[in-house]
Amino acid sequence: MDPQRLKDAYQQLQLLDDRLTHKVRPRPGGALVRPSQEMLEQQLRDLATYTVELKEILQELFQAIASAPKPPGPPPADKMT
């Protein structure tokens, strides 16, 4: 498992949650008024964006879990003495 890739994917997931979850979460009690065509189209775009980004993040998570950790790089030049 590559812990850095896992951490990066988790941060992407948190950003997606902060940015879009409130737009795609169902409203409690349902809608009180019928949405307009424009509102439906915007909600569909938001849901599509959320779905595609979530798929990409999940792919990254699976790759992070399946991959070996990156070996530590050489020490910086100023540390080599």
Q: Please report, for the chain, the start and end positions of each structural domain, with discontinuous segments joined by +.
A: 3-26+35-68
What span, in angstroms and rounded, lies between the C-alpha atoms of 46 and 40?
10
What span, in angstroms and rounded, lies between the C-alpha atoms of 78 and 48?
49
Kindly report the pTM of this predicted structure.
Answer: 0.70
Q: Residue 29: its pLDDT value, please?
A: 73
pLDDT digits (tens, 9 = 90+) for 7-26: 999 999 999 999 988 888 87
pLDDT digits (tens, 9 = 90+) for 43-60: 999 999 999 999 999 999
